Amino acid sequence: MDQLYTGGTAGGLIVGAVTRFADRPALGDGTTFWTYRELGAAMARFIAAFKAAGLKRGDALSILAGNRAESWAAMCAGLVMGLRYTPLHPMAAEDDHAFIVEDAEIDALIVDADKFAARGRAIKARVPGLKHLMAFGEAEGAQDILAAARAATPAPLRDEGAAGDVAWLAYTGGTTGRSKGVMLPHRAMLTMTLTLFADWDWPADIRYLAATPVSHAAGVTIFPVMLRGGYTRLTQGFDAETFCRLCADEKITATFLVPTLIYALIDAHELRARHDLSSLDMIIYGAAPMSPDRLREGMAAFGNVFVQLYGQTEAPQCITSLRKADHDLARPERLGSCGRPSPLVDVKLFDSEMREVAVGEPGEICVRGPLVMDGYWKRPDANAEALRGGWLHTGDVAVADAEGYLYIVDRTKDMIISGGFNIYPREVEDALMAHPAVASAAVIGVPDPKWGEAVKAFVVLKEGASVGVAELQAHVKDKRGAPWSPKTIDVVAAIPVTGLGKIDRKALRAPYWEGRVRGVA
């Protein structure tokens, strides 16, 4: 009886899409274009190659590559054969990649031979437990998984996963120490997919453009596209010219963009005049707050095509949604909302004692339901805090109006969202203080018209030390990756602290956020 009410896997969803929509266009990246039948054949070859290498259900797979068809096919193949998948962000630093591969107990890492061969070898040298280094193409010290797949004898696709298994082990930053692995079981992945399928304003003919890394939000949005038999066009990074050309040439009808990229398109008047973007029927935005004023500009440029998501890695993509109809210029205050709760989750706003707050009063967004993670990988301490009282505590503070629309006003955590990247001050502070000239550091997010929030640092130098701002920025970029590098750094004599000796971030933020209605840009 324990298993009577469980069932369904991401692998089953994938196999079902391949079977149902065999001759429809499925996936393209500018070089490779596959129907669903061809995607299924590529997956079957990867599965055969993985099994030949000794991988089996329950083993762990990770991929470090750009947006290419083979990346998606290999990831889908892993889910179908019951592997646990961990994405790696292509812009993160080597230290982060090595930590995640080791912490997640990855058995097989696939890298893009052209872009990440050296990074793959460095990770393999640092992580003795990594059994297999593979590459899309020929690379020194790695098995060419494309050649192995071509030589393999595939079997018919069959879902080999189990509903209770962890499908994705996705890493998210932390305010202290290293990032945490979020265990997303098949239940959460299917709940997300079905909610996005049902609750968003998809066009009848889905032609979805993934212009941001499929290792993150743009990637998991492909699952509802597959469920509807739609076509996904992958592109290597966002460039406004390329984006507009692809939308026009391939009649793209849906896309996911962070606000920074939408701002770039709004301001690209000449490009929009030169390319026919009328096919765009749904622009999904999220991962960072969007300025209501700029949203109005976007609606003037593209029409009423916007759909907002609010979620987090621990409850992906669809805690709330703000649908097209909610983008109502007659209700301008709604443009500052993150929407209403999705149908398969319970959402409440609690005070610090976990008492539900009244309409219009601020409270922490807490969530429960089948969308929520199983917990953090090997982190019972973090689980006790994040899941206390039987609710997922998001760390975001919001107010609700009388109709149930939520408006995020601040964060209980200190996370900075810059250009869609989640950046935690401690990560940047640790990197800064690894420099021999730096005695102490504090980091905050400040309003930025392009990035939403920009990383700003304050540093105290060691006595007699001297260092330039550019050198510190380059140091952080090398340690953590480009998004973590502060846009500005102030060298100060002292950093303010609270009575408990903690960094007084409120005092640091005050001059930059004074007069702002929202706690985030």
- Please write the tens of the pLDDT for every residue from 26-42: 999 999 999 999 999 99
For residue 149, pLDDT beyond 50:
yes
* Mean pLDDT score, 59-81: 97
- Outline which parts of the chain fall under CATH 3.40.50.980: 10-185, 200-336
Rounded to whole angstroms, the Cα distance separating 439 from 459 reads 7
Determine the distance from the C-alpha atom of residue 256 to the mean position of all C-alpha atoms in its chain, rounded to a whole number: 11
pLDDT > 90 fraction of the chain, expressed in percent and rounded: 74
Contact 271, 244 (CB under 8 A): yes
Query: 416-513: what CATH class?
Result: alpha beta
DSSP SS3 for 41: helix
pLDDT higher than threshold 80 for residue 460: yes
Q: Which helix (H) or strand (E) holds 319?
A: strand 315-322
Structure tokens at 210: 């993934």
CATH of 200-336, one of 3.20.20.120, 3.30.200.20, 3.40.50.980, 3.30.565.10: 3.40.50.980
**φ and ψ at residue 72, rounded to 5 degrees:** -65, -40
Give the residue carrying structure tokens 């968003």.
Answer: 200
pLDDT tens track for 270-295 = 999 999 999 999 999 987 667 787 88
Q: Which CATH superfamily is domain 345-413 in?
A: Luciferase; Domain 3 (2.30.38.10)
List, by residue range, all CATH 2.30.38.10 domains of the chain: 345-413
At 230-244, the pLDDT tens digits run: 999 999 888 999 999
Confidence class of residue 439 from pLDDT cuts 50, 70 and 90?
A: confident
Query: CA-CA distance, 163 to 182, in Å (whole number)?
Result: 17
For range 105-123, the mean pLDDT: 98
* Topology, domain 10-185: Rossmann fold (3.40.50)
- 296-320: pLDDT as tens digits: 889 999 999 999 999 999 999 999 9
